[in-house]
């Protein structure tokens, strides 16, 4: 069935294809639309988002990008043919925007599947930008997403559910970032700055496939992946938030005896990781800082020493630690289900 251009407001660039009377002519016009209008947009976005060359061969990510490009072409061709055959199909008002949206959506699907932890981090920040009335997330005229203050400085909405540790941390980070910047920031930059603020560095999953390309030097890194590192960081902060909710004796039994698999002390890493300072640890254990400082180099303490410090038995220390670990395990399982 021939398409009637009066029935919709399709992009005028598509009109010759949609109204062509011969299938041979429509096929030629369709190839031209894909080659001259769709392909450049698809390739530009894929190269930018996936950091690939789209040359034959190369890395697995480059092969994935070539497959995505092929799938996009097939989908666009199918949509255009359906539009030509069915006048009641939804019109494509702007073909360039149509192709760009489909390509960005395909990239998002790829990253969601390829890097689920990184995606959860971005989702957390995106949710807080939408849920906290102080913040806003919007698309600029350049089609990029920006984040900043909304102009509504309320601290929260009535009836809002209690925030998790990760949510509170992200809100603090976003507020401080926007205050310091004084202007909106590209959302992708917000994610990158979060990694820097939390002392985490972000390399790409794979370098570009051309070995001697200038992009290799720009993108190749041996540092830990940010998606995994940020996810671990958020996990540590969630665990620490739950530790702070424990009764003081459970906290002491757990923290003062905290050991790694080699029987070494773990508590000393908390200030290094920025989770809690020595002063905060002393307050959490309800100990004078001077006394806690004296214990610092002796940690971890054995159960008998902890028992003597708090006037309880060694078995009570063991029971308190067991109870604390069981409570933390329940809380983290519940958070993982939310």
Which pLDDT tens digit goes with each residue over 8-19?
Answer: 467 889 989 988
Residue 208 has a pLDDT of: 34
Lowest mean pLDDT: which of 80-94, 203-217, 245-259, 291-305?
203-217
CB 103 within 8 Å of CB 45: yes
Closest CA to 255 of 234, 235, 284: 284
* pLDDT band at residue 34 under the 50/70/90 scheme: very high
How large is the average pLDDT for residues 171-177? 83
Tell me the residue ranges of DSSP E strands in the chain.
135-139, 145-149, 185-186
Residue 40 has a pLDDT of: 94
Q: Which residues are CB-contacts of 24 (< 8 A; sequence separation ≥ 6)?
A: none
Lowest mean pLDDT: which of 138-152, 176-190, 198-212, 276-290?
198-212
Q: Which residues are CB-contacts of 46 (< 8 A; sequence separation ≥ 6)?
A: 52, 54, 65, 68, 69, 103, 107
Residue 255: pLDDT over 50: yes
CB 27 within 8 Å of CB 35: no
pTM, full prediction: 0.44
Query: Beta strand pairing status for 135-139 and 185-186?
Result: unpaired
- Alpha-carbon distance of 255 to 335, in angstroms, equals 22
């Amino acid at each position: 069935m021939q398409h009637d251009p009066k029935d919709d407001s399709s992009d005028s660039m598509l009109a010759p294809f949609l109204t062509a009377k011969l299938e041979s002519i429509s096929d030629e016009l369709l190839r031209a639309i894909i080659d001259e209008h769709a392909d450049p947009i698809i390739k530009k976005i894929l190269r930018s988002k996936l950091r690939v060359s789209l040359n034959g061969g190369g890395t697995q990510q480059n092969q994935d990008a070539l497959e995505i490009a092929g799938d996009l072409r097939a989908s666009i061709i199918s949509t255009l043919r359906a539009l030509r055959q069915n006048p009641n199909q939804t019109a494509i008002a702007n073909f360039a925007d149509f192709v760009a949206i489909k390509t960005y959506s395909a990239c998002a699907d790829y990253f969601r599947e390829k890097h689920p932890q990184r995606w959860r981090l971005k989702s957390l920040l995106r949710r807080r930008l939408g849920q906290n009335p102080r913040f806003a997330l919007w698309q600029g005229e350049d089609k990029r997403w920006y984040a900043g203050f909304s102009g509504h400085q309320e601290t929260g909405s009535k009836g809002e559910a209690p925030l998790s540790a990760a949510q509170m941390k992200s809100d603090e980070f976003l507020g401080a970032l926007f205050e310091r910047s004084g202007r909106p920031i590209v959302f992708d930059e917000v994610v990158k700055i979060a990694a820097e603020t939390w002392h985490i560095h972000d390399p790409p999953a794979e370098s570009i496939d051309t070995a001697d390309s200038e992009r290799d030097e720009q993108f190749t890194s041996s540092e830990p992946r940010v998606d995994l590192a940020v996810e671990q960081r958020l996990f540590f902060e969630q665990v620490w938030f739950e530790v702070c909710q424990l009764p003081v004796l459970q906290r002491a039994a757990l923290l003062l005896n905290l050991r790694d698999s080699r029987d070494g002390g773990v508590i000393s890493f908390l200030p290094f990781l920025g989770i809690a300072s020595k002063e905060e640890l002393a307050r959490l254990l309800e100990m004078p800082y001077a006394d806690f400082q004296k214990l610092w180099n002796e940690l971890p303490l054995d159960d008998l020493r902890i028992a003597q410090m708090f006037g309880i038995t060694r078995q009570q220390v063991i029971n308190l630690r067991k109870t604390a670990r069981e409570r933390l395990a329940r809380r983290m399982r519940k958070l993982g289900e939310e």
